[in-house]
Amino acid sequence: MFFMLQVFVNHCYNIPNRLLQVKAIDEKVGNTMAIPREGETIQIHSYKHNGRIHRVWQETMVLKGTKNIFIGANERTLVTESDGRTWLTREPSICYFHAEHWFNIICMLREDGVYYYCNMSSPFVFDNNAIKYIDYDLDVKVFPDMSYTLLDEDEYELHKKEMGYPEVIDKILKRNVNKLISWIKQKRGPFAPDFIEVWTNRYSFHKEMQSNEKI
């Protein structure tokens, strides 16, 4: 539940619970976060700061799952928006999440190269067979030549006022925008030259294994 995501974020970054309130959730959170298993299919849930669901990706295959890192893949997966609208993703994508960084990265494999869509967000938790995180509006779009642009600054300023983003989160997010840009320039993490090849090969391996199991 969103409450578990809150507690994790608050614990890691010493953010007071009162700064990240949600509605009517009363459950205990264990000390050990579950870990997604390689090869299984899970969902991805994006929330907003006010606790409302933002977007759900229906099916993503786990390629790597530890307590700190999640790497997954999907293609033509159903996405459900907060207003109930649905659509299908167009191209295969490799997804990268980290429990210590305030961003996640979607690598979209297109005919003219790899495009990256980076969401500024809380660190993730894995709960009830879903990766969950809080979306904080700001996005960085990266092109195949590693040029990039920062998006949705106006939306961020609006939601910061409407939802009452605390100053500590504002500072964390701005630091992580700079960290993300340094990764892009240094070709670190998902921007490394061999990242896509390694994980698309892993994805192909698991798809082949699943096909063989159906025979």
pTM summary value:
0.86
Which residues are catalytic, by number?
55
Question: Average pLDDT in the 163-175 region?
Answer: 95
* Ranges assigned E (strand) in 27-184: 41-47, 53-65, 69-74, 78-81, 86-88, 93-98, 103-110, 113-121, 125-127, 130-142, 148-151
Cα→Cα distances 195→161, 187, 202, Å = 38, 10, 11
Q: Looking at the DSSP assignment, which residues form a beta bridge with residue 110?
A: 113
Residue ranges making up the domain that contains 81: 2-214
Is the pLDDT assigned to residue 167 strictly greater than 60?
A: yes
The per-residue pLDDT for range 79-133, each reduced to its tens digit, is 999 999 999 999 999 999 999 999 999 999 999 999 999 999 999 999 999 999 9
Given a contact cutoff of 8 angstroms between Cβ atoms, the answer to whether 104 and 98 are in contact is yes
How far apart CA 107 and CA 70 sit, in angstroms, is: 14
Residue predicted with more confidence, 93 or 32 = 93
Given a contact cutoff of 8 angstroms between Cβ atoms, the answer to whether 59 and 77 are in contact is yes
How far apart CA 49 and CA 119 sit, in angstroms, is: 14
Cα→Cα distances 69→159, 170, 205, Å = 28, 23, 20
H or E segment to which residue 181 belongs: helix 167-186
Domain count, the chain: 1
How far apart CA 29 and CA 8 sit, in angstroms, is: 9
pLDDT score for 6: 57
How far apart CA 10 and CA 175 sit, in angstroms, is: 18
CATH of the domain at 181: 2.40.380.10
Question: Average pLDDT in the 173-187 region?
Answer: 98
Backbone angles phi, psi at 157, to 5 degrees: -65, -40
Backbone angles phi, psi at 50, to 5 degrees: -85, 5
- Reduced to 3 states (helix: H, G, I; strand: E, B; else coil), residue 77 is coil
